[in-house]
Amino acid sequence: MENIVNAYAMHTRELLINKLDFLNGEVQKFIPTDNEEHTGVVAIDVKWKSGVHFIIYQTLWRIYYYAARNHEKISHTFLIGKLRKDTPIYIQRLINDINNGRYDNKLTPCESHLKFVQEKGLTGYMNNTKWNKVFNIIRTIEEKAGRDISIMYKYIFDNENPIYYWSVRGDEDLHESMYKYIEWLKIQPVACECEYHGRLVEPEYTYYDYTSLFLEEMRAANLHYEYLQREEAYIIYGYRSTF
């Protein structure tokens, strides 16, 4: 069964492609998605010699358009709620800007990140594959233990160091697209449970040490780490300064 989003995209393509002037851009062939679970697909892709693309992206619910290079957005993402008679006028403005060279020297997010790293004199030690291994190890320990493992991390663009530990499960910001920004990650493979007995009685703390399991998994994955004796934690560096 054909993915319905392909039909939506072709409908949008047919409505707009003859109402827009792509100037020096070359319209690319429509490539339908063959995955029935995909809910979005590129309806129109126009490429300039500078490597900048104009993209109209169709989903089951909305239409978006933006400028891109190397499959990364380099402009704002503009939303089309419903196709109207004046819709092509607004879209044409972005096409004109691309054709006039406005985005020729605009850095992609990855290029901006690389520039930041170079200016700060940072050397990278990790990549997404290695970070995925680290977080899979943490999740494996948590599944076996039935308890959260404490973590703390700092992004390269953070001005201050965090001071409290938290958990992977409780972190809404930590996903694969952000791994490349992690300067360091600290892990305390010791879980603590606290049992309260009322206001007049000291709470009872129980500690569960999963250090051996953590170290075993890290060594098996050939991942580098250092021990911070003062914090009783292990640190993994994503970047370190060369200055």
Residue with tokens 């493992």: 149
Residues 56/92, Cβ–Cβ less than 8 Å: no
pLDDT of residue 205: 73
Prediction pTM value: 0.65
Cα–Cα dist 225/192, whole Å: 23
Residues 43/58, Cβ–Cβ less than 8 Å: yes
Residue with tokens 């892990």: 187
C-alpha torsion sign, points 71, 72, 75, 78:
positive
**Longest Cα separation, the chain:** 78
Cα–Cα dist 228/125, whole Å: 18
pLDDT per residue as tens digits for the range 93-138: 999 999 999 999 999 988 888 888 888 888 999 999 999 999 999 9
- Which residues of the chain fall below pLDDT 70? 1-2, 194, 197-201, 243
Question: What are the Cα distances from residue 55, in Å, to 45, 90, 94?
Answer: 5, 14, 10
Residues 113/107, Cβ–Cβ less than 8 Å: no
Phi and psi at residue 143, in whole multiples of 5°?
-65, -40
Q: Please report how many Cα atoms fall inside a 13 Å half-sphere around the Cα of residue 160, on the Cβ side.
A: 3
Tokens of 218: 């890290």
Cα–Cα dist 157/183, whole Å: 9
